[in-house]
Structure 1
Amino acid sequence: MARHILITGAGSGIGLACAQHYAAHGAERLVLVDRDDAALARVDLPVAVDRIVGDVRDEALWDRAAPLLAGIDAAVVNAGVAGAGAITDLSLAEWQRITSVNLDGAFLTLRAAMRTMKDTGGAIVATSSAAGIKPEAGVSAYGASKAALLHLVKVAAKEGAPDRIRVNAVAPAGVETPVWDAVPMFADRVAEIGRDAAFAELAAMATPLGRYAKPEEIAAQIAFLLSDAAALITGATLVCDGGYTL
């Protein structure tokens, strides 16, 4: 059972659900990272919490965070952003905004966690996406960044194995998180029919099982991959998409 856990993107969505899950299941200390100061301040948990406000793409942030990472035995590489747009319409700035958070930020988080765990071992899970497996029009930057993250996880698993560091990924499809608010199509539907109805509409169109995941469900799957029950699982991707990639 992981006791000292680093979680990025911890102010909302899957990251917050992971923090809440571990606070309720025996964690002793959580190191929570988010660039949203207000959201991070609202995270109220009955365990020791170290909060780091900043951008996961900032290498200096990880230099400053190093003392707080001492002793961590698990990490959730979760911070990410979404966006949409056809390749012909997408600006380089928008491409770089999405890929820099989802890939550069993940790399820096992963590097910091692996450096900390080198002498003690540990487990890491990165939040990728079914969009990194199944191509869809309009999500080139997001899909490419999440596909690259899946390969990065495999390389990290191979490099980490001699130090007893396991590295895996989850690849959800639709999850009811605030990341959808950055998708113009979803925001338009929320304005027209409400948030719950918009999620239900999207799920009915895209997911054979007919619903999207709750953040708490993904947090439980991440917790499994970080646990001793998954002690021989590394370099793997748990696709939790309701059948979306079929």
Structure 2
Amino acid sequence: MRALVSGGSSGIGASTCLRLAEASLARGEQPMIAVAGHRATPAQEHVVSSIQSMGGTAIALVGNLSDPDVPNQLVAAAVAEFGGLDGLIANAGIASPGALCDVSVEDWDNMFAVNLRGAWLLAKASYAHLKNSRGSACFTSSMSGQQPHAGSGAYSPTKAALTMLAQTLALEWAPDGIRVNVVSPGMTHTPMTEKMYSDPQIKKARESIIPMSKIGEPMDIANVIEFLVSPLSGYVTGQDICVDGGFSKSILSHIPGRPSSNS
């Protein structure tokens, strides 16, 4: 498995890099993982060294996806190192909460540049290589891209658009043997959400409305991403899988007076 993972330095991206390497080794393949991050960090180096310690190959790539030249540079660097590409995981994203009427044009454009345009340009740059390998791509969206999320600023619009981008690519690329899918995480404990979940009251309140009664961990998402780019999902494309412990399907159970499994 020769894969490029954007946002691979920490959180869901880091867990995905490690999971891809583990699964590849289990299949008797040599994992070659490009761990792409916004900037060089000790966390990124830790992911690279962890993959290398397993017996895999890993490289650290750095670039700001808001720069339209960076996606092509990242893909070119990975291909030059690995000789091709079997998987693209477009995972990088940023968030900036706020009411839509308070969002500046600069913040709006920057979020769309990273969350949407960056993923699109990564896909464009990867297309020929994925066609050659009959590979696959997975885009990390969000349950906030499936449902409107007041106060999320431009985040929900970018993620909704990202899902449609991926599903459109799935149709366009299917004749070339390339599969494209989406994973939409629900409430997940990552470095980005660390401050929120360090408050025990907020954590407990959120757990209480999730049917599985727990906050997701990055590896919960990584396991699904690995499945979606692995041979096990060879007949799956254009799908958006929400990994949220059942939360997004539980809305009716919150109506006062309705029967529930606890009554």
Task: State the TM-score, normalizing by the size of structure 1.
Answer: 0.88
Secondary structure at the counterpart of residue 239 of structure 1: strand
In structure 2, the residue matched to 1:35 is 38
User: Bigger shift: 104-113 or 227-236?
Assistant: 104-113
Secondary structure in 1 matching 2:192: helix
Distance 2:109 2:237 in 1: 29
Which of 68, 76, 89 is equivalent to 2:78? 68
CA RMSD of aligned residues (A): 1.9
Tell me, yes or no, if the aligned pair for 2:179 and 2:237 is still in contact at 8 Å.
Answer: yes
Q: Distance in 1 between matches of 2:202 and 2:32?
A: 34
CA distance in 1 between counterparts of 2:86 and 2:199 reads 37
SS across alignment from 1:108: helix
Compute the displacement of 1:24 (Å): 2.1
* TM-superposition CA deviations, 1:140-198 (whole Å, max 9, x none): 410000000110011110111111100000011111112226xxxxx4x56xxxx2626
Q: Which moved more, 1:9-18 or 1:25-34?
A: 25-34
Is the Cα contact below 8 Å between 2:32 and 2:58 reproduced in 1?
yes
Confirm whether residue 112 of structure 1 aligns to residue 125 of structure 2: yes
TM-score, structure 2 normalization: 0.82
Gap regions ≥5 residues in structure 2: 250-263
Matched, 1:151 2:160: no
Kept after mapping to 2: 8 A contact 1:5/1:72: yes
- The Cα of 1:208 is off from its aligned counterpart by 3.1
Range 225-234 or range 207-216, more displaced: 207-216
- What is the DSSP-based 3-state SS (H/G/I as helix, E as strand, rest coil) of the residue aligned with 1:213? coil
Asked whether the equivalents of residues 118 and 165 of structure 1 are also in contact (C-alpha less than 8 Å), the reply is yes
Distance 1:174 1:111, change over 3 A: same
**Contact 2:137/2:181 (8 A) holds in 1:** yes
Give structure 1 regions of 4+ aligned residues with deviation exceeding 6 angstroms.
Answer: none
Kept after mapping to 2: 8 A contact 1:128/1:150: yes
Match of 1:53 in 2: 62
Between 122-131 and 14-23, report the one with greater CA deviation.
Answer: 14-23
Q: What CA distance in whole angstroms lies between the structure 2 residues aligned with 1:208 and 1:86? A: 28
Counterparts in 2 of 1:152 and 1:198: CA distance versus 1, 3 Å: farther
Deviations along 1:70-116, one digit per CA (max 9) or x if unpaired, are 41111111001112101122222222222221111111112222232
Aligned CA distance change for structure 1 residues 138 and 196 (closer, same or farther; 3 Å): closer
User: Any gaps of 5 or more consecutive residues in structure 1?
Assistant: 182-186
CA distance in 2, matches of 1:13, 1:196: 19
Q: 1:4 to 1:196 in 2, by over 3 A?
A: farther
In structure 2, distance between residues paired with 1:198 and 1:17: 27
Alpha-carbon contact 1:154-1:167 (below 8 Å) kept: yes
> How far off is 1:203 after superposition?
2.3
**Residues 1-246 of structure 1 correspond to what in structure 2 (within 5 A)?**
3-25=1-23, 26=25, 27-38=30-41, 39-43=43-47, 44=49, 45-46=51-52, 47-65=56-74, 66-69=76-79, 70-180=83-193, 187=195, 195=198, 197=200, 200-201=203-204, 203-204=206-207, 206-246=209-249
Opposite residue 163 of structure 1, the aligned amino acid is: D
* Cα distance change on mapping 1:118 and 1:94 into 2, 3 Å: same
Cα contact 1:123–1:165 (8 A) shared by 2: yes
Shift of 1:49: 1.1
Could you tell me the percent identity over the aligned residues?
A: 32
CA distance in 2, matches of 1:67, 1:127: 22
